[in-house]
Structure formats: structure tokens, C-alpha cells
Amino acid sequence: MDEHRVILVIAVVVLLYGYISKALSRLNISGPMMFTGFGLLLSPLAFNFTQAAVDAEFVTIIVEVALVLVLFADAALLDLKLLKQSWKIPARLLFIGLPLTIISGTLVAQLIFPNEPTTYLILLALLLTPTDAALGKAVVSDPKVPKTIRSSINVESGLNDGIVFPIVLTVVAMIASGLTQAEDNSWLVYVFQQIVFGALVGGAVGFIGTKLVMLTVKNNWMEENYRNLIPIALAILSFYLAESLEGNGFIAAFFAGLYAGNTSEKTREHIEDFAESEGELFVLISFFLFGLAFVPATIEFITFDVVLYAFLSLTVLRMIPVMISLIGAKLDLATMAFIAWFGPRGIASILYVLIVAHEMGSMEGFETIYAVVTVTVLMSIFAHGLSAQPFANLYAKNHKN
């Protein structure tokens, strides 16, 4: 891979999009849509200006850092006091909706891809379960949408990828070892350990790190400019510290942000500034690499069945489990449908595919799975990008904060 050429292209794409970004937003054309489109145009599928390997270390690191920073920033901007008052909806989404989504996704996959091993289909369902609030940014950032709804969507997006990740690793390990089913309950212990250690390490890093910021600012030890850098360092520190202590780094990043943003109002403001600039850049670069590397690598494996499953994954396989989980939550049908629709697939699914490719050594044997993930994310980028602001406006007309 010509990494220097890729970096040059990214810089040019950022400039081109930056000049007209506001004009494009008025047309409901999002950043992920444009960057994915640029990636496709410059890939071997079009002008073949440059190319990147799906499993290249350069690609993996960019996507991993992007997800860590997004989780940290999204969590930091959550109002913990509000969350304490309205935790029931996120809990329903995570502990009822998420398992139902995985189960239904696996069962339907068995019908559509009967020749694929069951463990492969479980892996496919897991890869497509995490949601990405970045693709529906207008929904989670529009003040016209009630805070409890925005918070619920954000919390679900922030936590579901961390919850699913250890299960993904467990299934990958089972496939690599030739197992078709777990022989004991050790994987449950592993998943529990990943979630708990990740949350504890992340919470500690976020809380202590922010308290130190407050102390140094109070004593006038810190230059103002560095207050924008501290949150980035805390996000990355929480990720790698949790990973080294057998916890989940992505859950750690989320909880570090949750505590950092709710420990200091000033810190939250700096994180918000970062999320709207440097954090956004990493997200957009990830989608550019998706168009440049992922789509070309999997396009030959895209079939009607692949497209059918991708469509179902974004609609009934997501929406029905979510709406079932919200029964009894005292929400009207429009609100339930609104939450159910905004479960876009993005960075987490892309990163998980990278990890699977790395762990398994190659794409061989997993072509259908990678193709389904690629088509699902591609559909989601445009479907949720185009619908986010119009649906938010429509919903807000009938629902007040």
C-alpha cells in the first residue's frame, strides 16, 4: 500500500469537503457519505488513483483510534444526571433488544445462507449488532429531539459495541480452534471480565484524570492549550490500560468519557470542541478507508442473498427486536419506531471485520460474511445519513423536550 499517497489524498479530500460542508449539510449529505464516496471514486473500482489493503496495519490503527475517540467523546457529552433519571430505555435496548437482535440475526442468516457453518452466522449477527451514532449525528445532536431519546440512542451506541466485542472474540476463538459450540461456561466468565474490568479501569482513568486537570488548572500549572489535549490522552490511556488488565478497551473508553464529562463542566466543553474537530476527522478518515479498501475487497462476493440480508439487518432484524424491548416503556409507537430506525452500522462493524481478518489470517472462507458487513454499512451510511435530519425534524414537530 502506498501509505504516503493515501495520506495525501486524505488531506485533499478533507479540504474539498471542508470548503462546501455546510452547503452539503443543507442537502442532507453527511460527511460519512461524502468520504465514503471519495474513497470509492479513488479506489480500483473507479479511477484507481490509490489503494489500501483491508488488513493493513495503517487501516486498522486509524479505525481503532477513531472508535476509541468517538466512544469517549459521545459518553462525555451524556448528561449523567439525566441518565440516572432515564436509564430504563437504554437498559431495555442493551439487555433485551441486543440479545434479540443477535438471535434473530442468526436465525435469519441460517435461512438465507444454509451452507455456512452456524458459528460463522453467529459471528455475522454479532458483527452487525453494534450501532454507530455518528451516522445519525443530526439525531443525537439536534436539541429539538427530546433529551431522553437522544441520550438513549447515544448510550446504546456507546455500550453495545463494547458488550458485543468480547463475544466476537470468543466466537472467533471457537472458529479458529474448530469448535462448534462452547464446552463449558468459561466464555461467560471472559465476557463478564471484559465488561467489568473495562468499566472499572475506564471510570478510574476518567475520574482521576479529570480531577488532576481541575487541580492543575486551579493552581495555574497548565497552559490553556493543553486542556484540549488531555481528553485525547485519557481516551487512549483508558483503552490500552484496560486491554493490558484483561478488560475491554472500548468499554473503558466509554466509561472514561462518561466520568470525564460529568466530573467537570469545563472538561466537557473541551471534549465537545475536540469531538467537533479532531474526533470528526478520524471518523471521516475511517469512512474514506472503508470506501477505498473494504468495498473493492468484497465487491466480487456480493450476491442477491448478501444484499437481502443486509437490507433485513437494517430494517426488521433491528427494528422488531428494539420495538419488542420497548414494550411497557410508556412510549408511543412513533417514538419506538424512531429509536428502532436509528441503529446505523458503521465504525464498530468495520473494526470488528478488521480484527476477524487479523485473527483468522485471511479472508478465505469468510467472503460472504465480509460482503454482508460491507453492504450493510454502505447501505447504512446513505440511508441513515439522508434520513437523519428529515426524520429528526418530523419527530420533533410532535414531541417536545
The answer for residues whose C-beta is within 8 angstroms of residue 300's C-beta and 6 or more apart is: none
Q: What is the pLDDT of residue 121?
A: 94
- Look at residues 259, 277, 280, 278 and name the one whose alpha carbon lies nearest to residue 268: 259
Phi then psi for residue 264, to 5 deg, are: -140, 125
pLDDT classification of 329: cutoffs 50, 70, 90: confident
The answer for residues whose C-beta is within 8 angstroms of residue 324's C-beta and 6 or more apart is: 96, 97, 100
Q: What is the pLDDT of residue 180?
A: 46
Let me know the angle formed at the C-alpha of 346 by 247 and 281, rounded to the nearest 5 degrees: 90
What percent of the chain shows pLDDT beyond 90? 28
More confident call, 5 vs 390: 390
Q: Which amino acid is at 340?
A: A
- Look at residues 158, 160, 163, 155 and name the one whose alpha carbon lies nearest to residue 192: 163
- pLDDT tens-place string over residues 34-81: 999 999 998 889 888 877 777 677 778 888 888 888 788 877 877 777
- pLDDT tens-place string over residues 138-162: 787 778 888 888 888 888 887 787 7
Question: Containing H/E element for 5?
Answer: helix 3-25
Highest mean predicted confidence (pLDDT) among 85-99, 117-131, 338-352: 117-131
* DSSP state string for 302-334: --HHHHHHHHHHHTHHHHHHHHHHTTTS---HH
pLDDT above 90: residue 268: no
pLDDT above 70: residue 263: yes
pLDDT above 50: residue 169: yes
**Cβ contact 396:142 at 8 Å:** yes
More confident call, 243 vs 307: 307
Residue 116 CA to residue 199 CA, distance in Å, equals: 35
- pLDDT tens-place string over residues 171-229: 887 777 665 444 556 666 777 788 888 889 999 999 898 888 888 888 888 887 777 77
Residue 19 CB neighbours (<10 A)? 10
Average pLDDT, the chain: 84
Residue 51 CA to residue 140 CA, distance in Å, equals: 33
Q: What is the pLDDT of residue 187?
A: 63
**Cβ contact 140:154 at 8 Å:** yes
Using CB atoms within 10 Å of the CB of residue 305, give its burial: 0 to 12 exposed, 13 to 18 middle, 19+ buried: middle
- Look at residues 278, 298, 381 and name the one whose alpha carbon lies nearest to residue 55: 298
Q: Structural domains in the chain? A: 3-398 (1.20.1530.20)
**Cβ contact 108:318 at 8 Å:** no
- pLDDT tens-place string over residues 274-304: 776 777 788 888 888 889 888 998 999 999 9
- pLDDT tens-place string over residues 332-373: 899 999 999 988 888 888 878 877 776 666 666 788 999 999
More confident call, 83 vs 208: 208
Q: What is the pLDDT of residue 359?
A: 67
